[in-house]
Chain A
């Protein structure tokens, strides 16, 4: 799954965007949310979903950089 010569592997923007968004969300959820609780679900949605987005972003970056080295 290369970029096919168009100059930009799409996994870079996807990976970077989701890593940035996920990290921001997780940090906000962990430190700044002042105990805002998701209504009737006892989880910190920002923290956990932010981490999920971060992992997705990192996997995309990993894929793009591996393809770039080949």
Chain B
């Protein structure tokens, strides 16, 4: 692929805008709350778009297109079975506690509900996970642009890290959220023509059906037995592992996404954030997964061979190269670039918040002035970017990045979801139960992984192993938290108001019109999702 001057011009316009937004926002960053939570002033449609964009990184886009080429429509379960139900749940059931408790972060909620040690455990694992994810993202970005455009790995890592550093340093979370919204529209405008053209060339839906291997066009029809579908999973593993533990674990407890909703201007906006996000989210498969399937049909199979083995990760860039002329190519590359950079910015802004509020403020220097924490947030931003760069170079040592991400992910979020579920909906859950349950669940995930690596446990596919690991970690955490809670002393009910379902007043939206209530939006999202599952069953 070769870029011409117009493509570079478009990329330069984008970079100038991103930096301009940072400079423009600089003067509204007066307090630490402005910097870390955008002063809780952002309207729901913006936090909603940021909520999905924070997750819609380039790795996700390319990975989903690759999965489309590898597994077909089964990949849509990541959206229609996984993400959307979890987003409905976090909006309706969990946001009243997150937003209502005025916690500034997910770990801070854990401290309010349980105690310091549970918070410390989550804050530290989350901080480590985010900077690692940020570094892996940076490394993957450099690798992709090296492969498709021949850009220098070092130059890509350093220049993009610099741009991200400047705008997050200046504008904090607001800057990050604004760029995520820009990125969302860039992805839509940069990829939509490609999606239409690839499917048209493949002969539309009928053409795909005629030329793809059998089973690629269904989401549910072949899940009776693991051997009947290309993913190697059965319906139970899929529903319990992906649909329940992994998706709910990510969308309901990962501070990276939850932080966007915490920046919303009021409770109604916070609750609607994930629900508004769900609307575009359910159509992302048409933008990446189905074009990935079309790539399998229209591209020569030799183009997927990497050092002798089949690798679909480049499906999306290959389609860019196939369809886009100079000019449009610039827009497509900018969309990829933007999603890599805002993915990193999201990680950095979540990291600086957890570091400053949950580690520095709590254990290193409590009681200083707000000015001091704002300064610390800025220092943490610089440190976060520097550690990401270091992590990117460490990631050069590892072969398969996505697996590595999946691994971290199943360690941290899967058991955490059990802790939240019990903590928010069962007032008897105790701090010791939560802490030891979470520790044991995380250890169970690590042991399960070790057993898979050593070959003591074997799976039909890596995906099936990941799903089972998540189920196992969640179950261990849930059962242990439950049992330990029964034999330890619970907290006074008066201390748990606003933190537990049965002791919290539900937000009342009767004064709002029917259409403005979160529940109405949730019902609409639910019906659309069921319809999509039914149509493509």
Stretch at the interface among B117-125, B323-331, B386-394, B398-406: B323-331
For the complex, count residues of A whose C-beta is within 8 A of B.
34
Q: Does B151 contact A (CB under 8 A)?
A: no
How far is A38 from B325 in the complex, measured between Cα atoms in Å?
Answer: 6
Contacts of A32 in B (CB 8 A): 6
CB pair A33 B21 closer than 8 Å: no
Q: How far is the CB of B336 from chain A (nearest CB, A)?
A: 15
How far is A25 from B201 in the complex, measured between Cα atoms in Å?
Answer: 24
Contacts of A29 in B (CB 8 A): 327
B197, B322, B328: the one contacting A46 at CB < 8 Å is B328
CB pair A6 B42 closer than 8 Å: yes
Stretch at the interface among B7-15, B81-89, B271-279, B473-481: B7-15
Q: How far is the CB of A54 from chain B (nearest CB, A)?
A: 11
Contacts of A69 in B (CB 8 A): none
How far is A63 from B502 in the complex, measured between Cα atoms in Å?
Answer: 43
Encode A13-40 as 1/0 by CB contact (under 8 A) with B. 1101110110011001100110011111
How far is A36 from B46 in the complex, measured between Cα atoms in Å?
Answer: 38
B17, B20, B28, B324: the one contacting A7 at CB < 8 Å is B28
CB pair A45 B325 closer than 8 Å: yes
Contacts of B506 in A (CB 8 A): none
Contacts of A52 in B (CB 8 A): 189
CB pair B197 A6 closer than 8 Å: no
Encode A43-70 as 1/0 by CB contact (under 8 A) with B. 0011001101100100000000000000
Contacts of B43 in A (CB 8 A): 1-2, 4
CB pair A21 B41 closer than 8 Å: no
Q: Does B193 contact A (CB under 8 A)?
A: yes
Contacts of A41 in B (CB 8 A): 197, 200, 323
Q: Contacts A8-B25, A14-B181 given; indicate if A36 touches B42 (C-beta within 8 A).
A: no
Q: Does B265 contact A (CB under 8 A)?
A: yes
CB pair B6 A24 closer than 8 Å: yes
CB pair A24 B41 closer than 8 Å: no
Q: Does B38 contact A (CB under 8 A)?
A: yes
How far is A28 from B7 in the complex, measured between Cα atoms in Å?
Answer: 10
Tell me what chain A mostly uses at the interface: helix, strand, loop, or mixed: helix
Q: How far is the CB of A4 from chain B (nearest CB, A)?
A: 4
Encode B311-336 as 1/0 by CB contact (under 8 A) with A. 00000000000111111101100100
Q: How far is the CB of B475 from chain A (nearest CB, A)?
A: 42
Contacts of B42 in A (CB 8 A): 4, 6
Q: Does B24 contact A (CB under 8 A)?
A: yes
CB pair B6 A45 closer than 8 Å: no
A8, A14, A37, A45: the one contacting B193 at CB < 8 Å is A45
How far is A10 from B400 in the complex, measured between Cα atoms in Å?
Answer: 37
CB pair A25 B325 closer than 8 Å: no
CB pair B9 A24 closer than 8 Å: yes
How far is A30 from B468 in the complex, measured between Cα atoms in Å?
Answer: 55
Q: Contacts A2-B43, A7-B25 given; indicate if A18 touches B189 (C-beta within 8 A).
A: yes
How far is A36 from B39 in the complex, measured between Cα atoms in Å?
Answer: 49
How far is A20 from B15 in the complex, measured between Cα atoms in Å?
Answer: 13
CB pair B21 A21 closer than 8 Å: no
Q: For residue B38, which residue of chain A has the nearest CB?
A: A6
How far is A3 from B481 in the complex, measured between Cα atoms in Å?
Answer: 43
How far is A13 from B45 in the complex, measured between Cα atoms in Å?
Answer: 16
CB pair A45 B328 closer than 8 Å: yes
For window 37-88 of B, CB contacts with A under 8 Å fall at: 38-39, 41-43, 45-46
B45, B189, B197, B327: the one contacting A33 at CB < 8 Å is B327
CB pair B326 A4 closer than 8 Å: no
Q: Contacts A10-B181, A17-B14 given; indicate if A56 touches B189 (C-beta within 8 A).
A: yes
Q: How far is the CB of B200 from chain A (nearest CB, A)?
A: 8
CB pair A16 B193 closer than 8 Å: no
Q: Does B419 contact A (CB under 8 A)?
A: no
Interface centre among A17, A24, A29, A52 (most CB of B within 10 A): A17
Contacts of B17 in A (CB 8 A): 13, 16-17, 20
For window 184-204 of B, CB contacts with A under 8 Å fall at: 185, 189, 193, 197, 200-201
CB pair A36 B331 closer than 8 Å: no
CB pair A49 B46 closer than 8 Å: no
Q: For residue B201, which residue of chain A has the nearest CB?
A: A40
CB pair A33 B14 closer than 8 Å: no
Q: How far is the CB of A5 from chain B (nearest CB, A)?
A: 5
For window 297-355 of B, CB contacts with A under 8 Å fall at: 322-328, 330-331, 334
Contacts of A4 in B (CB 8 A): 41-43, 265
Q: Give 26 CB contacts A-B under 8 Å.
A: A4-B43, A4-B265, A5-B41, A6-B28, A6-B38, A6-B39, A6-B174, A7-B27, A13-B182, A17-B13, A18-B189, A20-B17, A21-B10, A21-B334, A24-B9, A32-B6, A38-B197, A38-B324, A39-B323, A41-B197, A45-B323, A49-B328, A49-B331, A52-B189, A53-B189, A56-B185
Add 12 more A-B contacts to A10-B178, A45-B327 (CB < 8 A): A6-B25, A13-B21, A13-B24, A25-B327, A25-B330, A28-B326, A28-B327, A38-B197, A38-B324, A41-B323, A46-B327, A50-B327
